[in-house]
Amino acid sequence: MAGPVRTTATPIVLSTFADAHDAYRSKDLRQALYDAGEVVMSGVLVNLHGQEHRDRRRVENRMFRREVFERYERELFPRVTDGTLARYEAAGGVDLVHLGHELMLNLAALTAGIDRPLGTPEETGRLYDYNARFIEGATMVHATGDREALRTAVAQALEDWDAEFLAPSAARRRDLLAREAAGEEVDVPRDVLTTLLRHADELDLPWEVIRREVAFFLLAGAHTSATAFVRTIDHLLGWLEEHPEDAGAARTDALFVQRAVHETVRLNPSSPTGMRRALAPVTLRSGVEIPEGATVVIDLQALNRDPELFGPDAAEFRPHRTPPPGVAPFGLSFAAGMHVCIGQDLAAGVVARPGTDPDEHLFGLVTGAVQRMFRAGVRRDPEHPPQRDTATARPYWGTYPVLLGEGT
């Protein structure tokens, strides 16, 4: 357990599940993970606090509803996934890291509200490059290079992306909203950009904040889902080498694949740490004292692998693992309290219960994409082993070549 630390200079590290859960629910501990990435994260939902956060969350929750998720998962996402995979299946292989970001970018663009009128690979490539810059900006705290140069590059990317993608997408939605308000029957998209435009006056949102908010949903949806996608496939490929009896389940049992996704996210949260800053003195129920101004680091890697909660094999990938009562199968990787991830159910689905009907269940976009890859015969390329990404301190894969189709 983390002990009391009474200086604001040394971060207070929380590494137990109870302390972390307590901290996430404290109204006096403010989000601090993205302070270094203000160029793209200033004023976005995840960085807001108090009443401002509640007002924005209340509006955006109107989009993140089950009926919206059902349409995405059962109609829109499968169509985009098949379209994205087609040329790689024909080629017989792909770099899983590139595919993960391309696929999840295509899916995230739907939910964020970014149109691609040309629909060409070149257009998708430009959006991919912009989003890669946004990701670098948001995770600047982990950057290993010149941060000021990176900040300048991210700011320019936001301007260029706005002109090429965001402004035209917004213009189309404003026209649809005006026609809807005039009584015309039109198909208005259910996405983040439309939601923000519909409620911009209510929230008093300047365009710069709308721009960063949509960019955040684009990067969060694409980046965190892409890393979970790659890591889940990696974990499952390793698991199936030792447990070939589960090979069929990886192709046909979405509940099994979803458990694998949750187990992967538990072991590998999108950020290995959470971070908060104390707006006032806080005492956790365990007795840990957090003085005003202190930085609190929540060690997700440690607490999500706590043997007291998840058993002696807590650090190992076990897709059949049953978590203890009251603990989510993905631990605290989606946070908790006021800042629990708004897109959790969209990405990872609803946690299944005993007797869950698969025909009525929401599995999440990552589950659908991973299962689709196993149906496509995904397997490691023995001639080209995967390599870690050396450009960041985060544990990402840099390249992960795989083969597709029937192999020997």
Cβ atoms of residues 62 and 170 within 8 Å: no
Residues 6+ apart with CB under 8 A from 375: 251
Tell me: pLDDT of 1 over 70.
no
Distances, alpha carbon 404 to alpha carbons 136, 357, 375, in Å: 30, 31, 9
User: Could you identify the residue written with the tokens 């490539």?
Assistant: 125
- Looking at every residue in the chain, the average pLDDT score rounds to 90
Averaged pLDDT for residues 209-238: 93
pLDDT in tens, 325-356: 989 999 999 998 888 888 889 899 999 998 89
pLDDT digits (tens, 9 = 90+) for 41-81: 888 888 888 888 888 888 888 877 788 888 889 888 899 89
Q: Is the pLDDT of residue 3 over 70?
A: no
Over pLDDT 70: what percentage of the chain? 95
Residues near 257 by beta carbon (within 8 Å), at least 6 away in sequence:
232, 236, 249, 250, 363, 367, 370, 371, 374
Q: Is 24 helix (H, G, I), strand (E, B) or coil?
A: helix
- Which of 165-169, 181-185, 273-277, 368-372 is the least confident region? 273-277
